[in-house]
Structure 1
Amino acid sequence: MTEFKCKEKLMRNIVLLATIALVSLLCTPIIVLGAPPTARNMSEEPSDTELLNATPIPPARRELVWLDPPKLEALAAQVKAAGGSIIAEYYDAADNYRREYKTTWDDIVWAKEVEKIVDIAYDAGRRGQYYKSIKYYKQALLLAPGSDLFLMSIGVAYVQVGEKERGIRFLEKAASISPNNSRIRRNLEVARGY
């Protein structure tokens, strides 16, 4: 076989493998732990009841959504270097706790997808666009049901726009999921006194 024929055959095989990989990716259902059982249009806003009654994501994933982007990137590098899975230690100085959870590459990919939505929500809140912030935090809750952080953030935003009782419901739910989280407790206390 000539060198040209070898290269041509190699290119055909590469194209075939890429096609197979793409087809299998498109045909494989995406499963997100803790996601609602039914698919939803992300532009459709979920009801408060739906969000407040959702089964919370596992604690390991709850820890991931609290990580700042640089810490998530550092953890991603560790998971990748370890071959896709590590036992990660999570430490919160404010609440004085340490926990260890198995963290996989799938967890990292999921957290980065959630982070894309949360970045929009966070930026909107910082600019005082609270309704936009609420909308995007609610979308993040579709990917991370029962996330104490996002429930808290929605609650704070509702209080900021004058919907105190609605905000308190979200803050109370966040506090029931993570009763020892001082940041959530503090926000709930402030909302009740607002």
Structure 2
Amino acid sequence: SATSGSIAIAGKALADWPLLELAQQRSFLAQSRSDPFGYSALESVLSARHPWAGQQYWERASDRAIALAALAQMEVQDLAARDVRSLSGGERQRIAIAALLAQDTPLMLLDEPANALDLAHQVSVMRLLAEMCANQQKAAIMVVHDLNLAQRVASHVLLLYGDGRWLAGTKANMLQADLLSACLGHPLQVVQHGTQQIFLPLDE
């Protein structure tokens, strides 16, 4: 655990943010989720609009429109009325990401966002997040283990070693075979395919 340092969002210490205002600044996608209640996919996404509700007890028409748009971005609008407990792991993950989008915060924190997604949706979700950061003045901090997905969308990379060491820098400087091999404890090869780099584990 950390013994020094501080965390600030938009230049303000994390501890100084009122909780409601903090929920308007950052959203979080957990690595896994539990859905103990039988609410619909739309209701699940609408719950992410709570920080913007103000004095309203029920969601507004604008909240519903934002939630439906987020479901459409994740290509799950046809599941809006479905009980979330009846959905597949990949569908539930896209519902969770739709909720993150509906919360509409400048900072998005995502823990393994590609979990349970098929290849097509891994690529489309990562592309969407990258486009949002580029075009909507948003920032995304992701925990990922898939180097090839990170290579597609990251601008900067933080490598965390098991012994507490870390390295940070631009993607070009950090996604190097020697650094990654040392960090992951397994030899890697970087293969150039057109304009893309592909990371492959080597036999020891």
TM over 0.5: no
**Structure (1 or 2) with the greater helix fraction:** 1
**TM-score with structure 2 length normalisation?**
0.29
**TM-score with structure 1 length normalisation?**
0.30
Q: Which has the larger radius of gyration?
A: 1
**Structure (1 or 2) with the greater strand fraction:** 2
